[in-house]
Structure 1
Amino acid sequence: MAAVLRVPGEDELPQGPRRRFALDVYDLYKKARRPTLDAIVATFAEIQEDLRGTASKETARRILVGKTVPRRWETAEALIEALAHLAEVDLDWRDDPEGQTSRERLQDRWDWALETLPNHEEPSSNYNHWYAPTWTTKAEAKARAAERAEQEAQERYRRANFSSGWESGAPF
């Protein structure tokens, strides 16, 4: 039986950019219902044409438990993409208060984690804003997009049919 993957405590992985990146990736892992490492590697093969990189089973494990931050974004993105595929999460949905997609937010966190050595102060840039991830499933993204399209169509109809006469003072 495979060991359960857990993010280490703050004594092993202190607060800071590396922990934030690890926690975000781990949160996506939980959203995917904690797949086995073999399932994650199988997903790499399944979605290979969509990936620009890949990761070994050991690399995936080390990223998930916060032991490493990959040097190449393509490696981190492969794991993130595989987990998102398993969780049916849309990484390109703009879902945070600053209008970033989940992919952009994770890439920023990866970049920050890679540039910041453990136990160093956090930079004073926009990276100080930390939002808990809100993973939007592909079905939710599709429903929201359809809802927006419907609202926009209703607004266009309303403007075309009801705003030209009475607002200008013309009789009905």
Structure 2
Amino acid sequence: MPQMLRMPSKADLPDGTRRDFVAELFIHFKEAGRPTPARIAATTSSMQDPLPVSRETIRRLLKGQTISTWERVDAVLRALCHIGGQDPDRRRWPESDNWNDDDATTCRERLRHLLNDDIDGVEPENAPASVSPARSNSGWGGTRTPPPQDDPWATTPKLAPTTPTAGGYSDEPPF
């Protein structure tokens, strides 16, 4: 028996724009009765204005392992809404802690907004540390040890000392 798709845990998909997007998509997935990715894929091919989406792409979208173009995400949303007997252009349901009677955002608009947030932005607290790759001395896989980060002279190449000293380097700054 195939394993049932579940909302990814926070360990698998941490808080952030991707998790928000997947959580919104999962609401429609659950409303549709948790159809198999194969059924969703078949529905994307047979709807009015079809845009076939593979079952693997659908599975990866629901697990938060990939993002896709809006056209494909919209096709998945329309398929889920079709299966669940819902209208993707209906007014988005109110949330208990953030309800606003004047908010006329539709389910489709909300999902598109979350997709764009995921594509465009990474919250500073979730951004990975920037690490530059090690450079090769030979160009064939040999790597050099990066200089210590707290050494202010590390980026300046050490030249041969002008006067011999016990340590082999001059105490004079290189400028």
Bigger helix share:
1
Contact 1:7 1:23 in 2 (8 A): yes
Q: Report SS of the residue matched to 1:54.
A: coil
Which structure 1 segments of 5+ residues have no match? 122-172
Distance 1:39 1:74 in 2: 18
Contact 1:54 1:79 in 2 (8 A): no
Q: CA deviation at 1:84?
A: 0.7
Q: CA deviation at 1:14?
A: 0.9
The amino acid that maps onto 1:102 is C
Deviations 1:88-115 (A, max 9, x none): 1111122353211111111101111111
Which structure 2 segments of 5+ residues have no match? 95-99, 129-175
Compute the TM-score of the two structures, normalised by the length of structure 1. 0.63
The answer to whether the aligner puts 1:120 opposite 2:127 as a matched pair is yes
Percent identity over paired residues: 36
Distance 2:107 2:7 in 1: 20
Q: How does 1:1-172 map to 2 (within 5 A)?
A: 1-47=1-47, 49-51=48-50, 53-70=51-68, 72-95=69-92, 97=100, 98-117=103-122, 119-120=126-127
Q: Report SS of the residue matched to 1:50.
A: coil
- In the comparison of the two structures, how many residue pairs are matched? 118
Q: CA deviation at 1:7?
A: 2.0
Q: CA deviation at 1:80?
A: 0.8
Q: CA deviation at 1:39?
A: 1.0
Q: Report SS of the residue matched to 1:11.
A: coil
Give the alignment's Cα RMSD to 1 decimal.
Answer: 1.9
Moved more, 36-45 or 76-85: 36-45
Q: 1:129: which partner in 2?
A: none
Moved beyond 4 Å, runs of 4+:
none
Distance 1:94 1:30 in 2: 18
Deviations 1:37-71 (A, max 9, x none): 11111111220x324x331110000001111111x
Q: Report SS of the residue matched to 1:69.
A: coil
Contact 2:45 2:53 in 1 (8 A): no
Q: Which protein has the larger Cα radius of gyration, Structure 1 or Structure 2?
A: 2
